[in-house]
Amino acid sequence: MLLHALDTADSADSDSAATPPLRTALLLHGAMGSAESWWRVVPLLVDRGYRVLALDLPGHGRSPRDPQLTVDAAAAAVVETIRLLAPEGPLHALGHSYGATVLAAAAAALDPSLTVYVDAALSIEGGHDRAELVARYGRDRLARMDADALRRSRPFYSERDAEVEARAAERFDPETLASVSCGADGEWPPAPGSVVVRAEPSSWVSDADVRRLTEHGADVRSIPGAAHTVWYSHFEEFTASLPELFGGPAVG
C-alpha cells in the first residue's frame, strides 16, 4: 500500500530544486490526525535543510483504508512509500503516539539515523471488541469535526490547529484504526539511541514505560505541563528538546 504524502520537494522553488536537500525528515501523525498535523513543524525543518515527507497513515487523510489493518501492515506501507519517494540519503524520522508505534515497527527496515518517538509507549493493547471500538471512534470523529468544540476542549489550539484537526477527523476511517487493536497485544521496543519526548505527566507513557524504554537504550526527555500533542501546546519547548532536529542554523 502506498500512502499519501505531503512532500516539500513538490513545492520547492526553482533555486532550491537545483540544490536538493541532503537529508529527509519523515513525520508520522497520531490517531485521528493527518500529515497536516505537522503544519507548524514542517517549515522549521525545511529552514534547516530537510526535505520533509509527512505521510497520512492508512485510514487517515488521503491514504487508503484497510479494515484488516495491523501495526505491522501500517509499518510496511510506510516503508514501501519511503523506499519509493526517498530511497537514498540520510533519514530522520519522527512519529507521534500511534504514528510513533508504527514508526517503531518500521524502524529496522527504514534504518533512520535519528528516530524520535513523541508521547508513545510503543505498544498496543489488543483484544478489543471491533464493533464497540468502531462505534467509539465514530463518536470521537464526529466530536472532533467541530473546530470550535476542539478549541474549547483544547484551549492551546490555534485557529489553524483546530481547522487542521477537524479536517483530519472528517477524513478519518474508524474501521481501519479499530482493526489495529482487535488482534493480539504488541510491543515494538526502540533501538538504542532513539529519543522519546514525553509529556509530563503523561496519560500515554507511564513511569513504568519510561523505565522499560530506558532499559532498551532510549533517551527519554520530558516536557512538564505539555499536552499529548506536545508540539501544539509547547512548541518552543518541544523544538528545544530536539536539538538534533531543530538546533542547527537555518539554511539559505
Residue 93 phi/psi, 5-degree rounding, is -125, 140
Question: pTM of the full predicted structure?
Answer: 0.96
Instruction: Write the pLDDT tens digit of every residue in 167-220.
Output: 999 999 999 999 999 999 999 999 999 999 999 999 999 999 999 999 999 999
pLDDT above 80 (res 251): no
The pLDDT of residue 124 is above 60:
yes
List pLDDT tens digits, range 27-46: 999 999 999 999 999 999 99
Is residue 48 within 8 A of residue 29, CB to CB? The reply is no
Question: What was the pLDDT predicted at 153?
Answer: 96
Cell of 141: 470523529
For the cut 90, the answer to whether the pLDDT of residue 250 exceeds it is no
SS3 state at 58: coil
* Residue 22 scores a pLDDT above 60: yes
Model pLDDT for residues 35-91, shown as the tens digit of each residue? 999 999 999 999 999 999 999 999 999 999 999 999 999 999 999 999 999 999 899
Q: What are phi and psi of 232, to 5 degrees?
A: -75, -45
What does the chain come to in residues? Answer: 252
Strand partners, 220: 196
- Looking at the chain, the whole-number percentage of residues with pLDDT higher than 90 is 92
The whole-number pLDDT of residue 187 equals 97
